[in-house]
Structure 1
Amino acid sequence: MSKPRKPKGRPISGWLILDKPLDFGSTEAVSKIKWLFKAQKAGHAGTLDPLASGMLPIALGDATKTVPYVMDGRKIYEFTVAWGEERSTDDLEGQVTHASDARPTEEAIRALLPNYTGVISQVPPQFSAIKIDGERAYDLAREGETVDIPAREVEVFRLTLLGATPNLAQFEIECGKGTYVRSLARDMGRDLGCFGHIASLRRTFVAPFGEDDMVPLADLVALEKIENEEERLAALDAFVIETGEALSSLPHIAVSDDQAHRLKMGNPIILRGRDAPLATPEAYATTRGKLIAIGEIAEGEFRPKRVFSVG
């Protein structure tokens, strides 16, 4: 009987909050980070198109188990809409499909914003990762098919006009999971009677991570000049954020080493004392500041659902 393969790379775990440059795909970025850090595994929490820059949270090792919690978080984007053209991709990359000489006034744009705040119905772009009958919409679109993508509800918490010229308007949006800013530009252009597409897009926030957490790719690549591998990896690791930071929206309990051992074995622990947390379907436990488990609190116990290695 053959032995199981030992995973390649280091068992490093945590979050690297990359400031993704333009013309660099999300999958390409993850591969680059995985290679730089010599990590066993890596994944990202929310795709950014090559024509978009900014925050791309990348999970290393055990942190990949917490990706769904970051995917569900609020996001903030700064974006520019160019008026006068609608494009097949709803951004600069696509071909012009509709054009107009009309241009909106700043007053007209401001009057429209309440229509795009709150829970709104939105049709994702033709060039998107939405699956249609098992295939990605962008694959079908590249083959020349017009895809019927059903509308879906998304939530916009805030949409602010930052500035406007006759041909361009700059916005900031705070929105929930699944919101397509490209669709927003397309729909606003139609409502204003002038058409529109995204001219620039930058993500500045993915809850719970902020701009101060972002690390430019160039800063990480620059560390390749350190010849000593141990020193180079130590310098890279200094940018990694603890896995548990991704769970800051959940109730938290600190446990002893003995309790941590029980949790790692998949066993529940009893929560005693008047300060014991109330029942909740999801919470996380740490020991010595390190994430040990995600689970539920019920009937005076913390019951682990997912456990993490420590150290």
Structure 2
Amino acid sequence: MARKRKGRDISGWLVIDKPAGITSTSVVNKVKWAMDAKKAGHAGTLDPEATGVLAVALGEATKTVPYITDALKAYRFTVRLGQATNTDDAEGEVIAESPNRPTDDQIKDALGQFVGDIEQVPPKFSAVKIDGQRAYKLARDGQDVDIAARPLWVEELVMTDRIDEDHVILEMICGKGGYVRSIARDLGVALGCHGHVLKLRRLWSGPFNAADGISLDLLDQHAKTTELDQYLRPLEDGLTDLPELRCPADAAAKLRNGNPGMVFAADVEYGDEAWVSHDGHAVAVGVYKAGQLHPSRVFNN
């Protein structure tokens, strides 16, 4: 007999404003403990020294994680010009230096080549898997890491401030799988001066904003109490990028059992992915076909 999982049957999203110096996995474990939740996961890893939005899904909301992972995200980051590091951020060793310093106009002109559909090579010290092993583990062992370029959509990349000749602040909006460290590295190459990320903050991820996130201090303060429940956002927030359909009670029962159910549809076409609700609660995600939703994920909330 399978062991019964301990914790509360609680579902929703808790948005954390992650501080520097802690891994995303550690934050998830801390939230799970503080909320006494049976199940938890996050949508989009932040490097340990990065700060900002880390959206933690609890319970049934973990089924909506892929839709937040796929959503657009915004970052503000400081690039240190004149130096390249082996990790492409300030945690690594300096492996190259240059006395060259671009002008503001040269930086702005160079940013254009990193907007739109681009090909990006992830950092060698990253969680990308190579033959079943994480790249950062291979790199730490001194092995030569060859990572293939992968596509990335960059919605926007702008310079917001030039602190001094060595430091520039950029803001970027991008899709799934973007590495800010790679942008800094490749920008430095394009400018002929090298570069790496000095500071990084995720401003928002899909519908979740850093301004709405709670601190780990607050999490600790109210740990193991229902005080934290007031900060919990509904699991439906993880589905905002999909069209919402509605259904009657009998269809909701069918859908929750994994069967197609009748839905009321307006702005969807045959074959579109959508989610369906009944009485304001998510019932299922699936594909719309001729008046019915064929579920791929169902919610038991």
TM-score by length of 1: 0.92
Q: What is the distance in 1 between the residues matched to 2:10 and 2:269?
A: 33
SS, match of residue 244 in structure 1:
helix
Q: Which runs of 4+ in 1 moved over 4 A?
A: 274-277
Q: Report matched runs for 1:149-298 at 5 Å.
A: 149-164=147-162, 165-224=164-223, 232=225, 234-271=226-263, 275=266, 277-298=268-289
Name the SS of the counterpart of 1:245 in structure 2. helix
On the 8 A contact 2:17/2:51 being kept in 1, the answer is yes
CA apart distance, 1:277: 4.8
1:304 is matched with 295
The C-alpha deviation readout for 1:100-132, integer Å capped at 9, x for no partner, is 122221111111111111111211100011111
Q: What's the CA shift for 1:258?
A: 3.0
Greater mean alpha carbon deviation, residues 253-262 or residues 27-36: 253-262
| Aligned 8 A contact 2:247 2:277 in 1 | yes
How far does residue 212 in structure 1 lie from its aligned partner after superposition?
Answer: 4.2
**Residue type of the partner of 2:290?**
E
Conserved in 1, the CA contact under 8 Å of 2:71 and 2:241? no
Long gaps (5+) in structure 1: none
Question: CA shift at 1:282, angstroms?
Answer: 1.2
- The aligned residue for residue 32 of structure 2 is 34
More displaced, 278-287 or 75-84? 278-287
Q: Deviations over 1:175-222 (max 9, x none)?
A: 111111101111111111111110000001111223343222222212
Instruction: Look up the equivalent residue of 1:243 and give its one-letter code.
Output: L
- TM-score, scaled to structure 2: 0.95
86 and 260 in structure 1: CA distance in 2 versus 1, 3 angstrom threshold? same
RMSD: 1.6
Number of the residue aligned with 1:90: 88
> Percent sequence identity over matched residues?
45
Map 1:140-151 to 2 at 5 A. Answer: 140-151=138-149
- SS of equivalent to 2:14: strand
Distance 1:260 1:220 in 2: 35
After superposing the two structures, state which structure 1 stretch, 215-224 or 50-59, moved more. Answer: 215-224
Aligned residue number for residue 73 of structure 1: 71
Deviations 1:229-254 (A, max 9, x none): 5xx2x211111111111111112122
- Counterpart-to-counterpart distance in 2, 1:125 and 1:116: 16
Which structure has more RCO (C-alpha within 8 Å, separation ≥ 6)?
2
Q: Using the TM superposition, give the Cα deviation of residue 270 of structure 1 relative to its aligned residue in structure 2, in angstroms.
A: 2.4
Distance, in Å, in 1 between the alignment partners of 2:267 and 2:202 is: 38
Cα distance in 2 for partners of 1:242, 1:69 equals 14
What is the Cα deviation at residue 4 of structure 1? 2.6
Q: Contact 2:81–2:193 at 8 Å: present in 1 too?
A: yes
Cα drift, residue 271 of structure 1: 3.6
Q: Whole-Å Cα distance in 2 between the matches of residues 167 and 237 of structure 1?
A: 44
Answering whether residue 8 of structure 2 is matched by residue 16 of structure 1, we say no
**Structure 1, residues 4-30: CA drift from partner, whole Å, max 9, x if none?**
311111111111111111001001000
Alignment of 1:97-112 (within 5 A): 97-112=95-110
Which range is displaced more, 77-86 or 290-299?
290-299
Q: Give the match's secondary structure for 2:222.
A: helix
User: Gapped runs of 5+ residues in structure 2?
Assistant: none
